[in-house]
């Protein structure tokens, strides 16, 4: 019995190959005949081509007929050459060689060259179904596609709109009684402090936000309404609209009756200067209460200031601070390194300038804070046992769970769900402000419909300043410093903030204006120490500084009094940068003016940004006659010549200081 089959040569292989080739040739002839017949039926009657039955010798002549059908007047030399190519060396048809070529083309699924030529001749270019030489199947007409709308979560798509405006509240005299009733939700002590600061009514964002938050605190800080977990709140309002007081007042009112001090509120801000400013507001309104406020925003890491506000009990640490204002970096340092730093009693987490803080989520400060809320510190005195947040179900509501509530504030709050998802918000609600215009008497219905459209698109716009004048000036790079001098010397601009894009540009422009003379100018940037920056801001608020040249570090949330003009010396790269720059003026309903210097190549990008915010029709071009700049050219050249020597002197002085420190080290 054989275990396997051995194929042996029987001498019939050549016969088998020839039979296979004949079969393939027969199939090819049938397919060619079929295709020719189909093309003949598609042609018009006057262009019909008779196709006879094919024999073995006529096969290749029919296949090559497409190449020979060029013109009616072809000469016989071309036919004889073609016939010579069709035959072999002895005058017989070279069938075997042709079959191999045709077989390869057929196996590869490619149409023969004759078919392509015949197809190209039979294409009807007047046919509307033929586009670019190809027949379009189905409905060939272009359809107008409906625009695709963003699918946003319900809380982003349907926000609570803050309808009132600062200008209307300031002018209308009939709202006095209504304002008194609005402020009645605050304690008498807080109302008296507001009156001392000449605040007799709520701003729109305060009027909307404070009742919403106090409603969650109706039965105490331990739980929200009916003991359920309180919703997180996001507020998008213009710069200078009173967002800081909106969260300061209800937090103080809810915590002032506490018995044992614990860290119950943490306010996180992106920069140190802004943290110091919010800390000062908390301290002002906490005066006369037992609440303690502290800040974690020093330039150098030091645990002694916060440790001094902790008491040592039975070998454990107990915090005497109730409200903590910090930057993300310092907050993380104290969570990981300060002994007894406990956040298990935390009730409020305020994230100011939330759009900027979302960029810092990658440093994992929020994850560390949420972990420390449910993880007691080993050396903390009387920590609170809290369970991690989970889904809403019956088992979790058998008893009241102490939960953390997040409050987000920004003038340019992102509506990107992917970014907001990083904040782990719980059933959030959005309060956003829209500029409401008074309906015209001639077209009241159309005005209301226009306002409705604006409100429906409110989630796509950033919150802008309610009213102030905006201009742009087209100029070259060399004309920018001359325009600054023209505004201050001839147009008498005073209390001006001038923004540049880099620290180097800030310092060079400061030295240049200082060397020109006649203007009280100062520089404000991260190169200066904190105390020196505070002194500069105080001088500017008192009117002792005419021009303050600064980088974008000043643009974020800083509340500077009496800013009348904002000049963007360098083109703002992003819309949010522009919004925060011009937000330093026209605060709290006051008037202000903004001027942007733009080169010719920057105007297109600037227009595009303003159209996205819906502000482009309101921005006017300020045209300056270049002849008025001529008297400034010669003194400016002298100042420019002195600039290089001043920079060299600074570099030498800095090198001497560095060498001195190196020798001492």
- Secondary structure of residue 134 in the 3-state scheme: strand
Q: Are the C-beta atoms of 520 and 546 separated by less than 8 Å?
A: yes
Phi and psi at 273, nearest 5°, equal -60, -40
Residue with tokens 């402020």: 183
CA 300/CA 290 separation, integer angstroms: 29
Exposed e or buried b for every residue in 280-302, given b needs 16+ CB within 10 A?
A: ebbbebbeebebbbbbbbeeeee
Q: Are the C-beta atoms of 594 and 468 separated by less than 8 Å?
A: yes
How many other C-beta atoms can be found within 10 angstroms of the C-beta atom of residue 644? 9
User: Architecture of 185-377+400-432 per CATH?
Assistant: 3-Layer(aba) Sandwich (3.40)
Q: Are the C-beta atoms of 264 and 405 separated by less than 8 Å?
A: no
Q: Which residues are CB-contacts of 564 (< 8 A; sequence separation ≥ 6)?
A: 493, 494, 495, 496, 585, 592, 593
Residue with tokens 């018995």: 259
CA 451/CA 432 separation, integer angstroms: 15
The parts of the chain modelled with pLDDT lower than 50 are 1-2, 12-14, 46-123, 168-171, 435-460
N- to C-terminal Cα separation, the chain: 98
- Tell me what pLDDT residue 484 has: 95
Residue range(s) occupied by CATH 3.40.50.300 in the chain: 185-377+400-432, 468-650
pLDDT digits (tens, 9 = 90+) for 638-662: 999 999 899 989 888 888 887 776 7
Comparing CA positions, the residue from 400, 406, 427 lying closest to residue 222 is 400
Q: What is the CATH number of domain 468-650?
A: 3.40.50.300
DSSP assignment of 46-115: GG----PPP-TTTHHHHHTHHHH-S-TT--HHHHHHHHHHHB-TTSSB-HHHHHHHHHHHHHTTPPPHHH
| DSSP H helices in 217-361 | 243-255, 272-286, 304-307, 328-337, 354-359
CA 558/CA 537 separation, integer angstroms: 10
Q: Are the C-beta atoms of 251 and 221 separated by less than 8 Å?
A: no
CA 457/CA 467 separation, integer angstroms: 20
- Compute CA distances 564 → 198, 366, 618, 647, whole Å: 20, 37, 19, 31
Angle at 449 between CA 448 and CA 452, to 5 degrees: 90
CA 477/CA 497 separation, integer angstroms: 19
Virtual torsion, Cα 178, 181, 187, 191, nearest 10 deg: 30
DSSP state, residue 630: G
Q: Are the C-beta atoms of 433 and 241 separated by less than 8 Å?
A: yes
How many other C-beta atoms can be found within 10 angstroms of the C-beta atom of residue 5? 6
- Tell me what pLDDT residue 436 has: 40
CA 566/CA 499 separation, integer angstroms: 8
How many other C-beta atoms can be found within 10 angstroms of the C-beta atom of residue 47? 9
- Secondary structure of residue 319 in the 3-state scheme: strand
pLDDT digits (tens, 9 = 90+) for 327-364: 988 898 888 888 888 899 999 999 998 888 887 665 68
- Secondary structure of residue 324 in the 3-state scheme: strand
Pairing of strands 265-268, 323-326: parallel
The length of the chain, given as a count of residues? 665
Residue with tokens 């500077």: 560
Q: Write down the pTM of the prediction.
A: 0.66
Radius of gyration in angstroms for the set of CA atoms belonging to the chain, rounded to a whole number: 40
- Tell me what pLDDT residue 575 has: 85
CA 472/CA 598 separation, integer angstroms: 7
Q: Which residues are CB-contacts of 562 (< 8 A; sequence separation ≥ 6)?
A: 495, 540, 541, 543
Phi and psi at 323, nearest 5°, equal -125, 130
Comparing CA positions, the residue from 466, 454, 463 lying closest to residue 171 is 466
Residue with tokens 């001839």: 490
Q: Are the C-beta atoms of 329 and 271 separated by less than 8 Å?
A: no
Percent of the chain exceeding pLDDT 90 equals 29
In 563-638 the beta strands, taken as DSSP E runs, fall at 565-568, 593-598, 620-621
Q: Which residues are CB-contacts of 87 (< 8 A; sequence separation ≥ 6)?
A: 93, 94
Q: Residue 346: left (phi > 0), alpha (psi -120 to 50), or beta? A: beta
């Amino acid at each position: 019995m054989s275990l396997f089959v051995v194929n042996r040569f029987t001498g019939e292989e050549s016969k088998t190959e020839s039979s296979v080739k004949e079969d393939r040739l027969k199939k090819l002839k049938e397919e060619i005949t079929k295709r020719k017949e189909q093309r003949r039926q598609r042609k018009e009657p006057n262009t019909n081509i008779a196709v006879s039955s094919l024999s073995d010798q006529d096969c290749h002549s029919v296949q090559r007929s497409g190449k020979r059908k060029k013109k009616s007047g072809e000469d016989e030399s071309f036919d004889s050459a073609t016939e010579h190519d069709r035959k072999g060396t002895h005058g017989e048809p070279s069938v075997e060689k042709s079959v191999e070529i045709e077989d390869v083309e057929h196996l590869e699924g490619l149409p023969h060259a004759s078919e392509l030529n015949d197809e190209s001749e039979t294409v009807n270019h007047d046919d509307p179904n033929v586009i670019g030489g190809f027949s379009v199947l189905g409905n060939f007409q272009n359809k107008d596609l409906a625009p695709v709308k963003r699918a946003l979560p319900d809380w982003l798509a349907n926000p609570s709109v803050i309808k009132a405006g600062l200008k209307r509240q300031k002018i209308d005299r009939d709202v006095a009684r209504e304002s008194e009733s609005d402020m009645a939700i605050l304690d008498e002590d807080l109302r008296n402090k507001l009156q001392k600061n000449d605040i007799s009514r709520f701003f729109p964002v305060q009027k909307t936000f404070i009742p919403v938050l106090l409603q969650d605190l109706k039965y105490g800080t331990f739980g929200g309404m009916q003991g359920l977990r309180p919703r997180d709140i996001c507020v998008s309002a213009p710069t200078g609209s009173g967002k800081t007081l909106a969260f300061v007042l209800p937090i103080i009112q809810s915590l002032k009756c506490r018995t044992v001090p614990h860290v119950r509120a943490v306010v996180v801000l992106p920069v140190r200067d802004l943290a110091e400013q919010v800390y000062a507001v908390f301290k002002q309104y906490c005066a006369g209460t037992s609440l303690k406020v502290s800040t974690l925003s020093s330039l150098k890491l030091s645990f002694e200031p916060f440790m001094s506000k902790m008491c040592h009990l039975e070998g454990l640490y107990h915090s005497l601070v109730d409200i903590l204002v910090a930057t993300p970096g310092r907050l993380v340092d104290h969570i990981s390194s300060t002994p007894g730093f406990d956040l298990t009693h935390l009730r409020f987490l305020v994230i100011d300038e939330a759009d900027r803080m979302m960029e810092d989520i990658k440093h994992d400060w929020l994850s560390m804070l949420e972990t420390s809320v449910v993880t007691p510190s080993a050396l903390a005195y009387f920590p609170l046992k809290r369970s991690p947040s989970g889904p809403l179900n019956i088992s979790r509501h058998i008893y009241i769970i102490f939960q953390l509530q997040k409050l987000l504030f920004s003038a340019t709050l992102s509506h990107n769900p992917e970014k907001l998802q990083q904040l782990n918000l719980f059933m959030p609600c959005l309060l956003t402000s829209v500029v409401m215009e008074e309906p015209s008497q001639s077209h009241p219905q159309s005005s209301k419909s226009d306002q409705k459209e604006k409100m429906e698109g409110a989630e796509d716009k950033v919150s802008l300043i309610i009213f102030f004048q905006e201009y742009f000036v087209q100029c070259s790079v060399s004309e920018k410093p001359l325009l600054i001098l023209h505004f201050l010397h001839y147009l008498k601009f005073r209390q001006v903030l001038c923004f540049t894009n880099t620290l180097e540009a800030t310092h060079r422009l400061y030295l240049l204006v200082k060397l020109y003379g006649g203007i009280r100018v100062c520089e404000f940037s991260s190169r200066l120490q904190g105390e020196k920056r505070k002194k500069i801001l105080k001088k500017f608020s008192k009117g002792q500084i005419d021009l303050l040249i600064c980088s974008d570090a000043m643009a974020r949330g800083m509340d500077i009094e009496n800013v009348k003009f904002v000049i963007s010396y360098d083109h703002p790269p992003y819309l949010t940068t522009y919004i925060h720059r011009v937000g330093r003026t026209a605060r709290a309903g006051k008037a202000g003016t903004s001027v942007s210097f733009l080169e010719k190549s920057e105007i297109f990008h600037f227009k595009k940004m303003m159209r996205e915010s819906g502000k482009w029709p309101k921005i006017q071009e300020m045209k300056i006659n270049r002849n008025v700049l001529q008297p400034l050219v010669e003194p400016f050249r002298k100042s420019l010549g002195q600039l290089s020597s001043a920079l060299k002197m600074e570099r030498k002085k800095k090198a001497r200081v560095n060498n001195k420190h190196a020798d001492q080290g």
